[in-house]
């Protein structure tokens, strides 16, 4: 019968604990005969002490003279030398228990992260030469046709061409309800297909598919340490040798002045056991890793633990409007032609806008009935586009665009988002649009303000359009007619004023300000440039993800702060008490292992943080 490593560890711990119980009984009944005590001690030491001493010796060989196992080995061997057999086994048993609990906690957080990283599928069924072939997902090219069988993981980002059904996106977004699928719908890699077979066209290769990107982000997240984590590691390197030196002095100096050597040697052992920094080193990083795993389960990808502390400190959120607060799906609501028919104006605009990536461009698609394209299309960020259509020079965009080109514009009454049109240097009319807020935006912005985060909307739209959107979303502060450079300057000024600034956006032109801000937040359906530049990705594509990120980060920082305070207070109290002879080895064991158990269990609470 094969016994696993974990089972072996449990058996050794049980034997060690049994030996400890027997030794305690011996002490209670004053049994001191070494022929009786030593065999029981030997069972306990072999069970839980040999590996610790072995690793302590290996640390010496490697030149690490302040490792935890070495400290424990010195304390245990020294206790045996002065005849404190029960205390030495107690140290070993509780230290081993603490190590097992620490490993279990790490395993739990690791499994949570690995579960999130198991989004990718190594194989895909692709149609080649009219035959379905199972190949490695990394070999499938954009544009190829794949078949997604029922209840399997979607291997690559794709668009459905045949079949209807549902997909489980819970691992990607945390959304428990399945998404209904029809031909033309996008399907993200990492989601689970429902009970029907689907045929789809690949839109992203393996490395650039959603599942691969998420896995890479999660994998690298824990490598980016917070200032607090870096401080603890530096502090531990100084703290441990200092307390070891103090223990040596405590054992050596008082006897020089006539004090009892054995008494102060015992105090030094208490000091040594209590000084172990394992709880300090593990509890804070563990809390942050668990928080990142909890956020990922809810569709919020935090690219590093360093951003958790920044998120918790954010006091101002600057947020883009179109595609972030609103759906970014525009509908034409009003057409006012000038010296041209309505149909002709819409046709020209539709053809010219077919080469634009701006959200407004999609509103014109139904009017490009012939599928034509314009020439010399030039997009001017924040202003509009210029193009050539059948030898006609066309400008479509803001008032400023036309004025820059010296187009005479009549007095207009425009109440919402609109573009003005000029053809061959003459004003040709304007077109108004409406952009619907996302269902959660109003409630999320209200919740952010309740959490004492000032929300400021930034948009390139007109004053009227910005005012209308701000009113719908109950946002008091907003700035309109913002060029990409204006957004950058606004956020830069806020940072210089001492604010901790988050910026949320989704477009290519948001990438610079996402990089500049204290923490950049990109919408999950935003551009690749925005997602790459951001520190946090809201996979649910909504502002409520920022509320989730804020709550999780505050909770994680609170838990890690509590752990630090408890560890430092208990350690300091026991170190001082041990030096004064007021605390024995059992108290030292609690200061080391007991505090480790408490803080590790507390850190694991971060895995259960809800929205």
Question: How far is 69 from 3, CA to CA, in rounded Å?
Answer: 25
Question: How far is 318 from 514, CA to CA, in rounded Å?
Answer: 10
Question: How far is 441 from 447, CA to CA, in rounded Å?
Answer: 10
The neighbour count for residue 277, using CB atoms within 10 Å, is 21
Question: How far is 567 from 561, CA to CA, in rounded Å?
Answer: 10
Question: How far is 501 from 315, CA to CA, in rounded Å?
Answer: 6
* Spatial CA neighbour of 439 closest among 545, 326, 320: 326
Q: State the pairing for strand pair 300-302/536-538.
A: antiparallel
CA 51 → CA 15, 16, 40, 70, 387, distances in Å?
Answer: 14, 13, 18, 11, 76
406-408-414 Cα angle (round to 5): 115
437-443-444 Cα angle (round to 5): 90
- The one-character DSSP state at 65 is S
249's enclosing H/E stretch is helix 227-256
Question: How far is 290 from 296, CA to CA, in rounded Å?
Answer: 10
How deeply is 380 buried, as exposed, middle or buried, from its count of CB atoms within 10 A (0-12, 13-18, 19+)?
middle
Joined together, the tokens standing for residue 236 give 């531990």
How deeply is 167 buried, as exposed, middle or buried, from its count of CB atoms within 10 A (0-12, 13-18, 19+)?
buried
- The one-character DSSP state at 200 is E
HEC string for 280-339: HHHHHHHHHHHHHHHHHHCCEEECCCHHHHHHHHCCEEEEEHHHHHEEEEEEEEEEEECC
Which position has the token pair 């603890």? 232
* Residue environment code for 144-166, b if the CB has 16+ CB neighbours within 10 A, otherwise e: bbbbbeeebbbbbbbebeebebb
CA 570 → CA 100, 235, 279, 544, distances in Å?
Answer: 22, 17, 11, 39
* Spatial CA neighbour of 13 closest among 46, 42, 55: 46
Residue 510: active-site member: no
Question: How far is 592 from 273, CA to CA, in rounded Å?
Answer: 7
Question: How far is 487 from 479, CA to CA, in rounded Å?
Answer: 9
Q: Where are the beta strands (DSSP E) in 545-585?
A: none
Q: Any idea of the CA torsion for 124, 126, 132, 136, to the nearest 10 degrees?
A: -40
| Cross-strand bridge partners of residue 458 | 320, 479
Q: Which of 320, 435, 461, 545 is catalytic?
A: 320
173's enclosing H/E stretch is helix 170-173
Could you list the active site residues? Answer: 320
């Amino acid at each position: 019968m094969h016994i696993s490593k974990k089972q072996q560890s449990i058996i050794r711990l049980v034997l060690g604990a049994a030996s400890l119980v027997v030794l305690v009984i011996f002490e209670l009944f004053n049994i001191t005969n070494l022929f009786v005590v030593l065999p029981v001690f030997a069972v306990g030491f072999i069970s839980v002490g040999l590996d610790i001493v072995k690793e302590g010796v290996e640390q010496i060989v490697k030149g690490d003279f302040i490792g935890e196992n070495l400290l424990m080995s010195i304390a245990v061997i020294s206790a045996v030398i002065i005849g404190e057999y029960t205390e030495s086994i107690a140290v070993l048993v509780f230290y081993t228990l603490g190590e097992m609990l620490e490993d279990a906690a790490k395993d739990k957080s690791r499994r949570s992260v690995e579960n999130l990283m198991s989004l990718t599928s190594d194989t895909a069924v692709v149609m080649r030469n009219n035959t379905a072939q199972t190949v490695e997902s990394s070999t499938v090219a954009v544009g190829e046709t794949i078949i997604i069988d029922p209840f399997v993981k979607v291997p690559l980002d794709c668009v459905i061409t045949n079949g209807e059904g549902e997909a489980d996106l819970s691992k990607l977004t945390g959304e428990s309800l399945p998404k209904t699928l029809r031909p033309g719908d996008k399907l993200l890699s990492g989601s689970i297909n429902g009970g029907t077979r689907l045929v789809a066209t690949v839109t992203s290769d393996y490395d650039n598919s959603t599942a691969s990107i998420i896995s890479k982000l999660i994998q690298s997240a824990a490598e980016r340490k917070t200032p607090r984590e870096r401080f603890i590691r530096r502090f531990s390197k100084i703290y441990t040798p200092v307390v070891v030196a103090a223990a040596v002095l405590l054992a050596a100096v008082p006897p020089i002045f006539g004090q009892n050597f054995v008494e102060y040697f015992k105090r030094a052992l208490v000091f040594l056991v209590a000084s172990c920094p394992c709880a300090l080193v593990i509890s804070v990083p563990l809390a942050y890793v668990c928080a990142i795993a909890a956020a990922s389960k809810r569709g919020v990808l935090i690219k590093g633990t360093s951003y958790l502390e920044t998120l918790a400190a954010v006091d101002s959120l600057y947020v883009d409007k179109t595609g972030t607060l609103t759906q970014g799906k525009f509908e034409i609501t009003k057409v006012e032609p000038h010296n041209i028919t309505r149909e002709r104006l819409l046709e020209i605009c539709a053809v010219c806008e077919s080469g634009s990536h701006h959200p407004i461009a999609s509103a014109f698609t139904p009017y490009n009935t012939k599928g034509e394209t314009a020439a010399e299309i030039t997009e001017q960020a924040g202003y509009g586009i210029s193009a050539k259509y059948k030898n006609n020079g066309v400008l479509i965009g803001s008032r400023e665009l036309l004025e820059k080109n010296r187009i005479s514009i009549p007095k207009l009454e425009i109440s919402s988002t609109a573009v003005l049109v000029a053809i061959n240097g003459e004003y040709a009319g304007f077109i108004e649009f409406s952009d619907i807020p996302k269902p959660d935006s109003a409630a999320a912005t209200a919740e952010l303000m309740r959490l004492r985060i000032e929300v400021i909307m930034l948009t390139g739209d007109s004053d009227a359009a910005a005012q209308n959107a701000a009113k719908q979303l109950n946002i008091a502060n907003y700035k309109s007619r913002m060029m990409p450079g204006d957004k950058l300057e606004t956020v830069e000024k806020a940072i210089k004023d001492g604010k901790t600034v988050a910026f949320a956006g989704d477009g290519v032109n948001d990438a610079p300000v996402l990089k500049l801000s204290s923490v950049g937040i990109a919408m999950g359906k935003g551009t690749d440039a925005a997602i790459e530049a951001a520190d946090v990705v809201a996979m649910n594509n909504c502002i409520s993800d920022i509320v989730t990120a804020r709550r999780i980060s505050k909770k994680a920082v609170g838990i890690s702060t509590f752990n630090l305070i408890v560890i430092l207070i208990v350690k300091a109290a026991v170190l001082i008490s041990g030096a004064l002879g007021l605390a024995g080895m059992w108290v030292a064991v609690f200061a080391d292992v007991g505090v480790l158990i408490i803080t590790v269990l507390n850190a694991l609470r971060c895995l259960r943080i809800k929205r």
